[in-house]
Structure 1
Amino acid sequence: MKNMNTIAAVDIGSNAVRFLISNIEEDSDKKCRKVAFLRVPVRLGEDAFTSGAISPERRFKLCEAMQSFEHLMKAFGVRAYRACATSAMREASNGAEVIAEIKEKSGIDVEIISGEKEAEIIYAAAQPFIASSGGGGEKNALHVDVGGGSTEVVVYAEGRVAESHSFPLGTVRLLNKAVSGEEKDAFKAELREIGGKYSIQRIIASGGNINKAQKLLNKREGEPVSYIELKMLYDMLKKMTFEERIKNFKLNPYRADVIIPALKIFLTISKLCGAPNLIVPQVGLVDGIIAKLYAERACR
């Protein structure tokens, strides 16, 4: 019988809440296997980035989701978990209060993490792809994660992390016009500086929207997505109405709107840094949490 441990990860994001359960199979070639994944479109950012606080309605929906996750962790026999909240909860004036309510109703401990910590955790899942794409030494790479509330950018040069930035520029924030002109200008100026300072060969792109774009482009796993291909998809989607995107591309309502600003961010970064190709490893914060939990348990 296999020696198996079960671990779980929760990502309380600005657009959605994600939950992942994985099995660690000690005597298997593939050490970590995904066994369950759930995504609940709570969209906390619509509250946090406009009114400055999480509304009672979204607090209720979030707590309901967390209670469900707690039941699933018991059912699957989860031995260790980590739950992280990002941009929306960082900025909500009642973020600490919401975290306390989650603890009271579900028993789940949630930590609010910084943008830099978020990028560090995602790196744990993206690192193998960064190394294989040339970011491990012979080429410089840029890891870009676009979320609902922020965009994390990490520069890899000569096999190490050279710079790390967290920009308050996310899809939900942009949809709600909660990004100032000064913030957009600062973002572009920083990317121009990165492009001039480093010779960026590849962009490692993560986030739900670029994952969906890769699938819409019928790309195989590991196959690069070019700037031209992404621009064509962006232009096609932008011309359509919200309803047409749902009908023609089978997008769910919580993807059909945010995918436009997300692709725009990726295109802007690609252009400013002069990197013509993107690698999409299909990983996110929950995958990084799982990778870190696995590493911690493997070292025991």
Structure 2
Amino acid sequence: MKPSMLAAIDVGSNAIRFLISNVEELSPDKPVKKNAYLRIPIRLGTDVFLYGAISEQKQAAFVDAMIGVAHIMRAYGVDHYRICATSAMRDAANGQDIMNLVREKTGLRIDIISGLEEAQILFNANALTRYTDVDSALYVDVGGGSTEVVALRDGKLQEAFSFQLGTVRILANAVNPAERERFATEMRRLGETYAPECVIASGGNINKVSKLLEKRDGKPVGAPELRALYKDLLALPLEGRMEKYGLNAYRADVIVPALDIFLGVVDMSGAKQLVIPKIGLVDGIIRHMWLNADSLEDRACPVLPH
């Protein structure tokens, strides 16, 4: 019998996302059920991309957050969990020490995954099936520390890339010019090779864009309307973005570099529109756990140490 109450935690560069889902069945046409969802705005990436390590203040906040996560999982009766950490924790000089401290305080195990693993979790878990019925598409996930790009043809993965180009990294002026050039070169090549009909866009910022543009049920976003929103946001100060568009402070700064990246993909690949399924890494982790239930023996919800 498969475990039903599952928890997924995405430790990103811009925030921590925590999803609990009581899974009875999975369908590519239906989103993962959200019994509980929490976004914790701890921005680990700023410290890492500027100084190479996570500060004591952020470290303490992160450990507190993980203790809270452990308590919430126990309260919900979570059977199994998986925590995936991406760019910031991967690049931090003290990342392993912090993960060891979390294990000591909570019993929780954190997996550091690569950008390519991140994209594959979503793809292999069939989370994108309903959005890949075009001949060719690019799946693009823009995070705080990196951007993942997957080329799809006839619904099958052809190539996958991870670029050290993310919103928090851009705001910290920590992007290597050579990486920007690699990104541009590959986007043009993917455009010439696959002629993508659309970009399947993922990430918290593009999900917010979908809401701002009132795009429901996966309705496509055209490049002109995306560009118009980008120009308007770019022209506004931070407070102006918050006032006009109702953005939180943690969203108002990163949404502009995110749109810049997505527009770069559209312009260089030749794709005309974006489809925004509002599916993130936590959704993929839940699906991946459900589909690979036999490998969850060491992911049972731990008893908190005293």
Structure 2 length-normalised TM: 0.91
CA contact (8 A) 1:11 1:84 kept: yes
1:27–1:263 distance in 2 versus 1, CA, 3 Å: closer
Name the CA distance, whole Å, in 1 between partners of 2:3 and 2:120.
Answer: 27
Alignment RMSD: 2.1
1:221–1:298 distance in 2 versus 1, CA, 3 Å: farther
CA contact (8 A) 1:170 1:262 kept: yes
Residue 56, structure 1, aligned to residue 56, structure 2: yes
Name the CA distance, whole Å, in 2 between partners of 1:156 and 1:128.
Answer: 11
Task: Give the structure 2 partner of residue 180 of structure 1.
Answer: 176
Residue 154, structure 1, aligned to residue 150, structure 2: yes
Task: Give the structure 2 partner of residue 131 of structure 1.
Answer: 132
Unpaired segments ≥5 residues, structure 1: none
Give the aligned residue type for 1:285.
Answer: L
Q: CA deviation at 1:224?
A: 0.2
Q: CA deviation at 1:99?
A: 0.7
Name the CA distance, whole Å, in 1 between partners of 2:265 and 2:161.
Answer: 13
1:153–1:55 distance in 2 versus 1, CA, 3 Å: same
- Aligned to 2:4, what secondary structure does the other structure show? strand
Task: Give the structure 1 partner of residue 6 of structure 2.
Answer: 7
Q: CA deviation at 1:222?
A: 1.2
- Aligned to 1:34, what secondary structure does the other structure show? coil
Name the CA distance, whole Å, in 1 between partners of 2:168 and 2:26.
Answer: 42
Q: CA deviation at 1:4?
A: 7.8
CA contact (8 A) 1:149 1:172 kept: yes
Q: What is the count of residue pairs matched by the alignment? A: 293
Name the CA distance, whole Å, in 1 between partners of 2:215 and 2:160.
Answer: 28
Task: Give the structure 1 partner of residue 81 of structure 2.
Answer: 81
Give the aligned residue type for 1:262.
Answer: A
Structure 1 range deviating more: 289-298 or 26-35: 26-35
Task: Give the structure 1 partner of residue 66 of structure 2.
Answer: 66
- Aligned to 1:177, what secondary structure does the other structure show? coil
Fraction of identical pairs, as percent: 49
Name the CA distance, whole Å, in 1 between partners of 2:290 and 2:162.
Answer: 26
- Aligned to 1:25, what secondary structure does the other structure show? coil
Q: CA deviation at 1:130?
A: 2.9
Higher RCO structure, 1 or 2 (CA under 8 Å, sep 6+): 2
CA contact (8 A) 2:136 2:154 kept: yes
1:257-296 aligned at under 5 Å gives the runs 257-296=253-292
CA contact (8 A) 2:200 2:276 kept: yes
Unpaired segments ≥5 residues, structure 2: 297-306
Aligned partner (choices 157, 161, 166) of residue 165 of structure 1: 161
Aligned partner (choices 214, 220, 224) of residue 218 of structure 1: 214
Give the aligned residue type for 1:8.
Answer: A
C-alpha offsets along residues 106-162 of structure 1, whole Å, 9 cap, x if unaligned? 211001001110111132364223334x1xxxx111000000000000001233211
Structure 1 range deviating more: 255-264 or 28-37: 28-37
1:42-53 aligned at under 5 Å gives the runs 42-53=42-53
Structure 1 length-normalised TM: 0.93
CA contact (8 A) 2:139 2:151 kept: yes
Give the aligned residue type for 2:87.
Answer: S
Name the CA distance, whole Å, in 1 between partners of 2:97 and 2:275.
Answer: 39
